[in-house]
Structure formats: structure tokens, C-alpha cells
Structure 1
Amino acid sequence: MKKTALIYSSLTGNTKKIGDAIFEIIPGDKSIYSIEEAKELSFEEYDRIIVGFWVDKGHADSRVKKLINRLKNKEIAFFGTLGAEPDSDHGRKVYTKVSELCSKNNNLIGGFLSLGKVSDKLVEMMKKFPLNLIHPLTPERKARIEKASTHPDENDLNDAKNYFISILN
């Protein structure tokens, strides 16, 4: 049986919520760490690493990218939360970028993205952006943010669990 570490970075609590749900279904010897707790870990004792992140500028947040770059020859999977639909163009681009990063030095076994609440701080910043910038608070974006505000919900948590059950067994 493989020994698994789940490490998550969470800005609004979304990623932690999904990480906790996934952790419940991981078989065998397992540990869970926040990104802060994982800073000093060597990961030598772990066969499998599951990393969780919030999406920042179309990629995993910088602390998770740094962590992934430290990992070598591990079985790796990821999960992430974003303020857009996972099957949108943006979601697919994020999935591709993180998959490429995870595959660089490790064996990627899968990845899962979920809709998640956008941080209040980012929403306030968007209100100040001029309309020609990359993330102005347009009516469409405002509707997307409002929809995301109730996620991850129970369906998202169950989808994450079911996905990870399928790739870990």
C-alpha cells in the first residue's frame, strides 16, 4: 500500500474543504498538510503526493508551483479551485498548465478542478480595474463570481471524492 501526502494551499477555504473531502477517501497510510506545514518536509517517505491549489493568474498559486518543482519521481495528482467553470477555456488552460508542471519530474496520475468562491479581496480589486484590463468586473464576470460564491458545494465534494476514488484504486 502506498504512503500518501496531501498538501493544500487555500486562500478562501475552498481548497482546504476539497482537500479534507479527498483525504477521507485516501486508502492506506496518509498525512495531510497545509502548504505552510509542508515547507520543511522532504517527502522521501511518501510514494504518492496529492497537491491542492487555488488558481492565480491562470495557474496553480506560486507556493504550490514551488512545491511541485521540489518533487521528483513521485506519483502525483492535483486538485484545484477556481472562480470559473472547470470545463471553460480558462479551466482547460489551467488544467493543461498544471498537468505539464506535475509531469515534468513526476508520474501524473490525474487532476481535478472545481468551481470555488473568489476571494473578497480580489473582487474588490476587480471593481477598481479599468475596463480594458484583463479582469475588469464586467456583468458577465460578476455573474460568474456570484455563481461561484456557493462553491465548492456538496456535489463538488462528492465529485472530488469519486474522482480520487477512481484514480487511487
Structure 2
Amino acid sequence: MDKGRYSIIFSSLTGNTKILAETIRAVLPAENCDYYGVPETQELHSEILYIGFWTDKGNADNATLELLSKLRGKKVFLFGTAGFGGSVAYFQKILDHVKQSVDPSNTVVGEYMCQGKMPQSVRDRYMKMKAQPEHPANIDALIENFDRALSHPDEDDLERLRKIILG
């Protein structure tokens, strides 16, 4: 991966994507970082933009999608987290949706996704649904996924990201 000037721009609702952003920042040369933080409208002049998002209904969050739609002629590395996980195919489907918002003048130079923990309110909602006589057939699977996600992003997730970044 190009180790020139870079920016890390990320949106993180629950802190999961911020953990990925911090991991990227820790392995790249600090003196080459032009910007680190939330999506803003400022002009980004870095050689590569590491753009992180949280997953909202199978796509990146709105702030990230808006940023991606404005970029032209950039090298972009996409990274994100999703509450539902365990499937490379599911993560790829999300990344494919996100890439639809990237203008063709940009080059996606890399991508990474992993599972991320969800707020306790999600599990509480699932438990209320389960208590109903007519609950969804997959409610137990949703609860199991929530519980599995609690440890993510974990050290294995972060090590995979480090290896991709250092490539």
C-alpha cells in the first residue's frame, strides 16, 4: 500500500469504526497524516483516503455516503463495521453497495470489514420481540448474533486489518 500522505476519515456511531480508524492510524507514519476525524466538507489533498463507516441498512451511513459522492480523482481505502457478521459474502455485499457511491474517477485501493458490537438497546428490543406470541422465526438467531458481536472488533479483526494496511 502507498505510504505517502494520507487522511483517515470515519463515521462511528458506537465506537467500532473508530477502533478500526485508530488501528490504521497506529500502523501508518504519523508524520504523513493530513487529517484524522469525522467527515467534513474540507478539501482533502492526501494521496490516499482511508474512509470508515458504520453499516446502516446494508450500506454506509449517510455522512460517509455524502462524502464519497463528492470525491473525485482519489485513491480510497474503505473500511467498516456491521452488527451482523460472520459472513464474508454479507460484508462484500455491503462493500459493493458502498462502492456504488464512489465516483468512477476514484480508485478503490483496498477494503476491510468486520463485525462490530451493537448497543444493548438492540438486544432489549429482540427480547421484547421474543416475548410476543407472534415473534419472528429468526429471533433466536438475531439474539445469538448480538451476543457473538459483543467481542468485536476483536484482536483477530484488528490484526487482519493491520496486515492489509501494511500489505
The one-letter code of the counterpart of 1:81 is T
* Greater gyration radius: 2
Deviations 1:17-61 (A, max 9, x none): 1110011122461144322xx413211x21211100110000011
Distance 1:124 1:69, change over 3 A: farther
CA contact (8 A) 1:12 1:118 kept: yes
CA contact (8 A) 1:82 1:116 kept: yes
**Whole-Å separation in 1 of the counterparts to 2:116 and 2:61:** 14
Structure 2 stretches lacking a partner, 5+ long: none
The one-letter code of the counterpart of 2:32 is D
Root-mean-square deviation (Å): 2.3
Q: TM-score, normalised by structure 2?
A: 0.84
Structure 1 stretches lacking a partner, 5+ long: none
Q: How does 1:114-125 map to 2 (within 5 A)?
A: 114-125=114-125
**Whole-Å separation in 1 of the counterparts to 2:68 and 2:50:** 10
CA contact (8 A) 2:69 2:103 kept: no
Pick from 26, 34, 38 the counterpart of residue 37 of structure 2: 34
**Whole-Å separation in 2 of the counterparts to 1:106 and 1:131:** 45
Distance 1:26 1:112, change over 3 A: same
Q: Does 1:140 align with 2:148?
A: no
The one-letter code of the counterpart of 1:49 is L
Query: When the two structures are aligned, how many residues end up with a matched partner?
Result: 160
Task: Tell me what 2:165 maps to.
Answer: 164
Q: Which runs of 4+ in 1 moved over 3 A?
A: 121-132
Identity, % of aligned positions: 26
CA contact (8 A) 1:9 1:16 kept: yes
Task: Tell me what 1:95 maps to.
Answer: 95
